[in-house]
Amino acid sequence: MAEQAGTEKKENLSAIPEQNLRTLFRKTYGIEPETAEPLKGDGSARTLIRLRAAGDGAGPATGRSVIGAIGPDKLENAAFLEFSRHFRKEGLPVPEIYAADPANGVYLEEDLGDTTLFGFLQKERSGAAFPESVKAEYKKALDWLPKFQFKAGKNLDYKVCHPRSVFDRQSIMWDLNYFKYYFLRLSKVPFNEQKLEDDFKTFTDFLLEAGHDGFLYRDFQSRNIMLRDGGAWFIDYQGGRKGPPHYDIASLLYDAKADIPPKVRQELLDYYIDRAMEVSKMEKEKFMRHFYGFVYVRIMQALGAYGLRGFYERKEHFLQSVPYAVKNLEWLQRKADLPVKLPELTRIFKAMTNSSYLRQFGKPKLGLTARIMSFSYRNGVPGDEKGHGGGFVFDCRCLPNPGREERYMPLTGMDKPVREYIEGLPEAKEFLSHIFALVDAAIDNYRSRNFTDLMVSFGCTGGRHRSVYCAERLAEHLKENGKAETELNHRELERKFTGAIAVDK
């Protein structure tokens, strides 16, 4: 009997917040809500409930639908309510606050529907392509972001910010340690604690150079952007504070499961910078110096959240985002060098991108990029310091050399006469057929394990004829069979030569 009484008491206590919400609805509209539909949680401690009034009868509440929020953290509630009122006053598309009961931690806000930007992306997307319709919606959101950061942020009451009013050293260290304790430790990625702390200090000093003159939304990502009536609407900015603009655009473009292709990310980043320069004194070169640092710290913060919810709280669906975050880290390691040295953190990222374990959650299909290079053996075999550390190196010096003939010397393997010469060689066709089979098999294996990067290098004496031709042909082959995206680089052709042109001999 005592156990039953305890259970009943617990159920009664859990019902009190919803009763408070219903009471607030009744006081606001004069009637009881007819339905109360719990909404899917957003990862916070808040509970959201869609309350609907009856659809028949008279009065302003007839058929009304509102979102009721139950927030156990009163300081967080106060920040959201104040921000919402301020942003509405500034003309920004955020939900209207209809009523609030701060003492009981409940409030009523405008119902913006069910279509998030992320949901729209999932619906419109087919395969790896990023539809133009989705890109257009992202740009609508980016039209508003600088207005939050630089216009509405000017007169905001930052005293209500929670838990801190500025994205300062303490805030950055919280994010970095969140990553360390809830992801690295729980995912069993080894690290040297002191060396990592040294890197964290260096990294934090670098990020603080960017300043904190605007409003930092803090969680500006596709699940917090609603689409309604042809426009973008914004929610979940209660963690906002003063901070650098880099963080928010990094949050949107490197949102893990959105999996935005690099070319689209760059287009959207350029679009954002143009909009921001219209309403602020932003300088692109200065902005870009720190941008990728904030991309890293945002990914690390997100990984900490995935680890807490997934590894620690056993909510496994959060771990499904991990492979996409690792994919983003791999791209950053190859494409976005930071102007500060972070040896232990770099080693950790390398270990993460080499991990098959971290790529398997949720059985994602990440796609693969083949990085194809031609080179000259005179200048050394290219390494793969920022990929998996593997791949293929093929020696094209076993093929007849067009560079020995005067008519081909000034040309390259991309020129038609050289192509026709090599294509007429039976041994070249056999050579490439074996290479295609090897690379195709490797790509199939890598894709099955969710590795996203494979390096294939072709070398010859001067790096201008045979190796260039073979690299071009492999890129064409992969494009034809659709097995992988390609990045093509002719190392020697991109060098700046002085004096005589290097030729094969």
CATH number of the domain that residue 163 is part of:
3.90.1200.10
Cα–Cα distance measured from residue 275 to residue 144, given in angstroms and rounded to the nearest whole number: 9
* 101 and 164 share one domain: no
Half-sphere exposure at residue 343, Cβ-oriented, CA atoms within 13 angstroms: 4
Cα–Cα distance measured from residue 148 to residue 234, given in angstroms and rounded to the nearest whole number: 10
> Comparing C-alpha atoms, which of 10, 41, 418, 64 is closest to residue 236?
41
498 in any annotated domain: no
pLDDT for position 451: 86
pLDDT for position 213: 83
* 129 and 239 share one domain: yes
pLDDT for position 3: 46
Residue after which a domain boundary falls, among 46, 78, 110? 110
* 339 and 395 share one domain: no
Can you give the pTM of this predicted structure?
0.83
Indicate whether 387 pLDDT > 70.
no
Cα–Cα distance measured from residue 440 to residue 410, given in angstroms and rounded to the nearest whole number: 33
504 in any annotated domain: no
pLDDT in tens, 41-60: 656 789 999 999 986 555 56
Could you give the number of structural domains in the chain? 3
> Comparing C-alpha atoms, which of 457, 459, 447 is closest to residue 485?
447
Cα–Cα distance measured from residue 300 to residue 307, given in angstroms and rounded to the nearest whole number: 10
* Domain CATH for 35: 3.30.200.20
93 in any annotated domain: yes
Mean pLDDT of 143-172: 95
Mean pLDDT over the full length of the chain: 91
Mean pLDDT of 14-18: 77
Peptide bond preceding 163 in cis form (omega within 30 of 0): yes
* 104 and 21 share one domain: yes
69 in any annotated domain: yes
pLDDT for position 220: 98
* 127 and 21 share one domain: no
327 lies in which domain range? 117-359
Indicate whether 12 pLDDT > 50.
no
Residue pointed to by tokens 């500006």: 220
Residue after which a domain boundary falls, among 359, 387, 417? 359
503 in any annotated domain: no
pLDDT for position 61: 66
Cβ 455 vs Cβ 389: under 8 Å? no
383 in any annotated domain: yes
Continuous segment of H or E residues that includes residue 275? helix 262-279
Give me the sign of the Cα torsion angle 412, 416, 418, 419.
positive
* Pairing mode of beta strands 485-490, 369-376: parallel
pLDDT in tens, 326-377: 999 999 998 999 999 999 999 999 999 988 899 888 878 788 899 999 999 9
* 79 and 145 share one domain: no
Q: How many C-beta atoms lie closer than 10 Å to residue 490's C-beta? A: 21
DSSP code of residue 469: H
* 346 and 380 share one domain: no
* 133 and 225 share one domain: yes
Mean pLDDT of 105-119: 97
Mean pLDDT of 98-104: 97
Indicate whether 204 pLDDT > 80.
yes
Q: Is 72 left (phi over 0), alpha (psi -120 to 50) or beta?
A: alpha
Name the least confident of 88-92, 296-300, 315-319: 315-319
Cα–Cα distance measured from residue 80 to residue 311, given in angstroms and rounded to the nearest whole number: 29
* 153 and 194 share one domain: yes
500 in any annotated domain: no
Percent of the chain with pLDDT over 70: 92
Indicate whether 1 pLDDT > 80.
no
Residue count (the chain): 505
Tokens representing 483 are: 């097995």
Distance of CA 368 to the CA centre of its chain: 17
pLDDT in tens, 414-457: 999 999 999 999 999 999 999 999 999 999 998 888 888 899 99
Percent of the chain with pLDDT over 90: 80
* 159 and 194 share one domain: yes
Mean pLDDT of 152-159: 92
* 390 and 257 share one domain: no
* 202 and 345 share one domain: yes
Cβ 478 vs Cβ 484: under 8 Å? yes
Q: Mind spelling out the 3-state secondary structure of 383-401? A: CCCCCCCCCEEEEHHHCCC
Residue after which a domain boundary falls, among 359, 387, 415? 359
* Pairing mode of beta strands 47-52, 65-70: antiparallel
Mean pLDDT of 300-316: 94
Continuous segment of H or E residues that includes residue 150? none
Residues 6+ apart with CB under 8 A from 355: 189, 326
364 in any annotated domain: no
Cα–Cα distance measured from residue 56 to residue 70, given in angstroms and rounded to the nearest whole number: 27
